[in-house]
Structure 1
Amino acid sequence: MIPVDNILFASEMIGAVRGIDPETGHYFDDTKRYVEAAHIDAAERYKIFEGNARRVYPRLDATLKMKGQ
C-alpha cells in the first residue's frame, strides 16, 4: 500500500501547456490520469485529490463546507 496521507495533487492552470504528446495523444499537462491509473483505492484517490488539502488547509475546508461542498 502506498502511503498517501502527505500527497497533495496540484497542476497548472488547465490549458497552460497546449501541446499534445504525439505518442499518447494526451495533453502534456494531463497529470490527473497518472493518479487515476495508479493501483490505489477510491479512498486514497480522494485523499490525494481533495481530502489531504482540506486537512492541511482547514480554512479552505471550512469555506467549502459553508458553500455546501
Structure 2
Amino acid sequence: MIGAVRGKDPLTGQYFDDTKRYIDACDALTDEDRFKIYEGNARRVYPRLDARLKARGR
C-alpha cells in the first residue's frame, strides 16, 4: 500500500508504508504465499484482468 504515509523512518531511510520489504523478509511465507499476495489473489478476484494480462503474455 504505497502512498498511505509519505514519511520516512529517520533511522532506516525507508518509507513507513513500504510493506513489501516486510513480506519479502518474512521467513514464514513460501514463494507461493508471496505470489498470492502480490499477484495471484488479484487475478483470482478479477478474472477479466487476468484474461487481459494473459492475452498480453503476462
TM-score bucket (shorter structure):
0.7 to 0.9
Question: TM-score scaled to structure 1, two decimals?
Answer: 0.70
**Other-structure match for 1:23:** 11
Structure 1 equivalent of residue 35 of structure 2: 46
How much has 1:31 moved relative to structure 2?
Answer: 1.4
Task: Give identity over the alignment, percent.
Answer: 59
1:33 is aligned to 2:33: no
* CA RMSD in angstroms, aligned pairs only: 1.5
Gaps of 5+ in 2: none
Between Structure 1 and Structure 2, which shows a larger proportion of helix residues? 2
Alignment length, in residue pairs? 56
TM-score where L is the length of structure 2: 0.80
| Counterpart-to-counterpart distance in 2, 1:26 and 1:59 | 35
Q: Which runs of 4+ in 1 moved over 6 A?
A: none
Higher relative contact order (CA 8 A, sep 6+): 1
